[in-house]
Structure 1
């Protein structure tokens, strides 16, 4: 496999545009919830899989803007290239051309476990004792990371981060690295597929995994299916991705969703499906509200159509006397269209978005947080001057964004500002892959509706009901996770000190290998259907 000049450390070291070294990104002052990650995988002999992964990640950039990486395999070795930054900043033509192979794993990251360091960028990589490698990308968040890290330390398979030849490694502090280490440790004796079937039932929380060894691409989804993961078909191969929009970008046809509790394996023998756990579907309803692209389909339902319907229901539940309905672009646009359709109030554009400024979910520094709204949005004064505005946004977390917006619109000449929110009040943090603020920082946890209205300075405030949101999604309530709205967590949570973004940084030294272990051996569930059946159902 060819590699770029001076890239002998390319296996897990990066010489990308950022060249960030030990840079760490501090998100402690971010004003809004951050997103999770995007994963992409391709098994496609004869295709430029690195470029497929690049464009797939480009389509998933909204899911993570902190770091990006791609691994490729040509059947004999795995090469990983990753760095901090956007997909377009990390990769260029020279790097992509050098990443030769027929299997690719791609990842764009926002950190939900572990800090925003280079070591924590993905795909993660581990060598097995047998000399093979595993590269892994993860979307989601485990709730038993501390337990798994302890187990990995017991078994001697967790060390100081990625395996970098000739490079002093810093410790990776992610649940993703712990999972990769456990898979690599177990695969030495039984192979990756059998190791995955043994270990996946022990991973608790939300996880969509795309991983590969030298010859096989794998995809797995947690039994609750909290995060989306889909399977697509290329003329000469297969694709898996976080969203259907990524399939569209690379010209893959949608086949089906990867089912909750399912492991897919794709190699020269075809596509195999195995069940490692019974499905207990609890898809994240916030994917419909904000996280997913509007041109994505989840569980057979268009995200755009869902958001328009949320807006219609919002207008019915919380009418307003206004002259113009305007969205907070871009995530509030479909709901604003629906609100205007249902209310009969004209729809218009009152805010211009700077396309080159990242989402306020992502921005890390205090200075940018203070400037963020005005950097991102600017009012069309001629449109809004003298108008009673109905402003539709997707959510309120701390209220900083809406407070700044209301002030900006009044300064631009709006007579009244009525805020309508296309989701219920966010009262609980997410532990399944969205980096929401702590409960104490959530404005809806500390204030009632009138208190929030006064806090943001609006003339009136209305949220869509949870029943209205669920109805708009056209999914049964029993199949959705709405924990951030109702506090009903479908996957049990551990004690506070064993959960959180920086749990691995804060843990005490793990149990020593010579101490007794209460861990029992795990039985391997029988593999499921054959290649043809796997395309149709797990």
Structure 2
């Protein structure tokens, strides 16, 4: 793609952008992060900025891009959206070179602030080393404690920096071998894009929990968290990076694939199908939009309802609601209209302000729902507070009955693989059975898709095989596919880290206080 084409698309994408992406109120599972990399691209930083724009839904707290001009690594990082930091030609001009990597972030470990914004960069004995990471290392605190004890000095509170120190202290001769050596010590989930003076390395954890795809644009090779990023920059998707695969690309265009971590049964995150990925992406060989429609169809088969209308909770409930309506034969209607120009409501200081924020963001289509029996379709219930307010909104608009259907099983367990979930005690499904949950959200009926039904909807004809699940579904089942070293040791005071991690934002509505 010519430089002028990239710059024109950047202008089109960012020209009038305010906040078009999901601005949740703390009652959704927050996206992990998104990564993008380009090598042998004439305008690598511009392509990276455009790719990150397509991945903005995966992280809206901060963004960073690092480029390499053949001699030096140059980084630009900032808090906020991609458009707020990389919309101008001047910003892109500060990042010369034909290799670049970028990252959009919502903090899952560490805290907010520029020191944790990726890509992280370090000068190693072998030269510059920049890394962008989507995922979460579940033994990062244990590794960090050991490294600090041996003299390592950390500059951030991000778990990603542990990988840098492990690479720096490895005694293997090449950077690729050092990275392999480092990742053998790591537990959890990661999709990595790494830049070195000799080229780019992309790597996915052995279970493939976090997504990573590979594409091509002319002579350049690209990597991204989702295929939609390739659509936006005008690239062709080649394939998914395989679980446990490490791909090396040099400046001569040579591509080398390694599988250094053995063969394990993949366990990609099933919530990518439910919520995280954009519906116009492909994940685990399937159209995300098609999978979400199929989930809605399966939900209708399992939990039919005597109703007049199927109404999605926008925007994430729309594809499943279409599937539910088509399977059930009920009309699909936009009974809730959402404003895309309302900021985050979870930062409001009081329950009344948060409630007003929800009403500003969602408004009932009164003429449509008054006197009708409504089936509301949403992707998940986390704390339950937003679900309760949506049901209340429908009743205030005159709905005769409000039935709630959920396009995922009950979220009863926390995620330790790169998704910022509330602690388990604040998950509604961890505290209540189905009937108390229904009473809490004040619906006439409540039903979730079954775990077997979810598996069937995304392509497993026999449902979930408990002996060998095809996906990571720990947030529903509690079946974690890797050790959780840090979680197991968190109550051991002797294992405390020699630093005080920032407290997480607690200014979120709690079901107990509702």
Q: Answer whether TM exceeds 0.5 for this pair.
A: yes
Separation in structure 1 between the aligned mates of residue 490 and residue 192 of structure 2, nearest angstrom? 20
Range that drifts further, 375-384 or 67-76: 375-384
Checking the alignment, whether the CA contact within 8 Å between 1:133 and 1:184 is kept in structure 2 is no
- Which residue number in structure 1 is paired with residue 476 of structure 2? 485
2:26 is paired with a residue whose SS is coil
1:430 alignment counterpart: 415
Structure 2 residue aligned with 1:331, among 316, 338, 356?
A: 316
Deviates more, 1:90-99 or 1:290-299: 90-99
What corresponds to 1:66 in structure 2?
61
Which of 436, 449, 453 is equivalent to 1:451?
A: 436
The offset of 1:294, in angstroms, is 0.6
Does the CA-based 8 Å contact 1:146-1:498 persist in structure 2?
no
Residue in 1 aligned with 2:173? 190
Which residue of 2 is the match for residue 141 of structure 1? 136
Change (3 A) 1:509 1:120: closer
Secondary structure, counterpart of 1:198 in structure 2: helix
Structure 1 partner of 2:13: none
Structure 2 CA distance for partners of 1:387 and 1:496, relative to 1, 3 Å? same
The change in CA–CA distance for 1:318 and 1:63 in structure 2 (over 3 A counts) is same
Q: Which string of whole-angstrom CA distances, capped at 9 and with x for unpartnered residues, describes residues 438-484 of structure 1? A: 11111111111110010001011111100010111115742211111
Deviations 1:373-402 (A, max 9, x none): 223211111111111111000000110110
Pair 1:402-2:402 in alignment: no
Q: CA deviation at 1:182?
A: 2.5
Q: 1:508 aligns with which of 484, 487, 498?
A: 498
2:94 matched residue in structure 1: 98
Establish whether residue 271 from structure 1 lines up as the match of residue 261 from structure 2. no
1:254 aligns with 2:237: yes
Judge which range, 243-252 or 372-381, deviates more. 372-381
State the SS of the aligned residue for 1:480.
coil
Partner of 1:37: 33
Secondary structure of the corresponding residue to residue 297 of structure 2: helix
CA distance in 2: counterparts of 1:204 and 1:286, whole angstroms:
20
Aligned with 1:234 (options 196, 205, 217): 217
Which of 81, 85, 109 does residue 76 from structure 2 map onto?
Answer: 81
Q: Distance in 2 between matches of 1:232 and 1:145?
A: 30
- Asked if 1:211 is matched to 2:201, the reply is no
Equivalent of 2:114 in 118, 122, 125 = 118
Which of 378, 390, 413 is matched with 2:398 structurally?
413
Q: Is the 8 A contact 1:384 1:413 kept in 2?
A: yes
The answer (yes or no) to whether the contact 1:208–1:227 under 8 Å persists in 2 is yes
Matches within 5 A, 1:362-401: 363-366=346-349, 369-401=354-386
Could you say what secondary structure the match of 1:89 adopts? helix
Corresponding residue of 2:159 = 175
Mapped to 2, the partners of 1:144 and 1:108 lie a distance apart of: 23
Structure 1 distance, partners of 2:164, 2:290, is: 37
Output one character per residue of 1:132-168: Cα deviation in whole Å (capped at 9) or x when no partner: 2111111110111012213432453x3241xxxxxxx
Gaps in structure 1 of 5+ consecutive residues = 1-28, 162-171, 511-538
Equivalents in 1 of 2:456, 2:483: separation in Å?
A: 26
In structure 2, the CA distance between the partners of 1:185 and 1:376, relative to structure 1 (3 Å rule), is: farther
C-alpha deviation, 1:276, in angstroms: 2.1
Q: Whole-Å Cα distance in 2 between the matches of residues 122 and 319 of structure 1?
A: 46
Residue 6 of structure 1 aligns with which residue? none
User: Aligned partners of 2:338 and 2:134: how far apart in 1?
Assistant: 28
- In 2: Cα distance, 1:369 partner to 1:232 partner: 42
**Root mean square deviation, CA, Å:** 2.2
Cα separation, partners in 2 of 1:308 and 1:251, compared to 1, 3 Å: same
TM-score, normalization by structure 1: 0.82
Q: Corresponding residue for 1:57? A: 52
Q: 1:251, 1:359 → 2: CA distance?
A: 32
CA distance in 2, matches of 1:222, 1:73: 25
Runs (5+) with no aligned partner, structure 2: 1-24, 501-514
Within-5 A mapping of 1:255-334:
255-269=238-252, 270-280=254-264, 281-334=266-319
The secondary structure found in structure 2 opposite 1:203 is coil
Q: CA 1:371 to 1:138, structure 2 compared with 1: closer, same or farther past 3 Å?
A: farther
Cα distance in 2 between the residues matched to 1:237 and 1:424? 41
> Which of 373-382 and 203-212 deviates more?
373-382
